[in-house]
Amino acid sequence: MMMRHGGEWVWGGSVLLTVAMVVFWALLMTAVVLAVRYLVSLQGNGSAPAAGPSKAESLLAERYARGEIDDEEYQRKLALLHQHR
């Protein structure tokens, strides 16, 4: 398995280099993936409002439509939801 070449253990050194190279590339790929995930999460936390009504707003609208709450309570709770956004 290990061969001697000029008084040195050639195979042992090449195994060490191979392991070091695999570790290097694994660390590099992990760093790239973490950087991309971080940058994507920054874009998702922008101040732009959501595309549609939130689940809380939808539930509030359903309660209003069923007559469980009146207009004044609906407007007050809707304003509170928009404040906390």
Assign 34 a pLDDT band (cuts: 50, 70, 90): very high
Cα–Cα distances in angstroms (integers) from residue 58 to residues 8, 31, 47, 64, 83, in the given order: 74, 40, 21, 10, 16
pLDDT digits (tens, 9 = 90+) for 8-32: 555 666 788 889 999 999 999 999 9
Strands (E), 43-85: none
Assign 1 a pLDDT band (cuts: 50, 70, 90): very low
Rounded to two decimals, what is the model's pTM?
A: 0.42
pLDDT digits (tens, 9 = 90+) for 41-81: 888 765 555 556 788 899 999 999 999 999 999 999 999 98
